[in-house]
Amino acid sequence: GDPPDHPGGLLLLMNKPAGRVCSHDPAEGPSVYGLLPERWRRRNPPVTSVGRLDKDTSGLLLLTDLSPLVHRLTSPRHKVPKVYRALLDRELPPGADDLFSGGTYVMPGEEIPCAPALLKRIGALEVEITLTEGRYHQVKRMLGSQGCMVLELTRIRFGTLELGTLPPGRWIELPINGLVDL
């Protein structure tokens, strides 16, 4: 007797707290899905994250049950920008800005250059970095190659969507219409 729950699909913007994983495997630890209502955890197709954030990374995470949307937003072909704020253990050396934005930077252990990344210095120990791809631990590895350890990492923007003041562990529903220009 209940009306259908989001028959056209579900799209959520969550402020992922550090310490949660983007995995459905309980062996990996507490997951972001445990923060959702039980009825959404039982959806078919299942709710999944649009890309992943590491266990110790916090911030903007999109969750949906629409696999075409996941593909569109994560495909490198679409170049959807993602902005991360990082707190570093030491000041980033001069020249890192140009190195990352040039499109020729190759991370240690890889052969293919990273897509150009925009680096913005917020303070002596804080930077924002904008990526259009999502390689394994990319922000940490890029900054680490410059002698800096990332102490805290937060994604603050995904396309045109911003985290804003949403508290950690909370989420809001987003309309599915109009995401073409994300």
Catalytic residue among 54, 56, 65, 181: 54
Number of helices and strands in the chain (H, E):
4, 9
Q: Rounded to 5 degrees, what angle do the CA atoms 164, 129, 151 make? A: 85
Cα separation, 125 vs 90, in Å, equals 6
Residue holding tokens 């913005």? 120
Number of C-beta neighbours around residue 26 at 10 A: 11
Helix%, strand%, coil% for the chain, nearest 5: 20, 25, 50
Distances (CA, A) of 93 to 40, 116, 151: 46, 18, 17
Nearest partner of 11 among 62, 67, 59, judged by Cα: 62
Name the pairing type of β-strands 150-158 and 58-64.
parallel
- 98 is an active site residue: no
Number of C-beta neighbours around residue 85 at 10 A: 20
Which residues are designated catalytic? Answer: 54
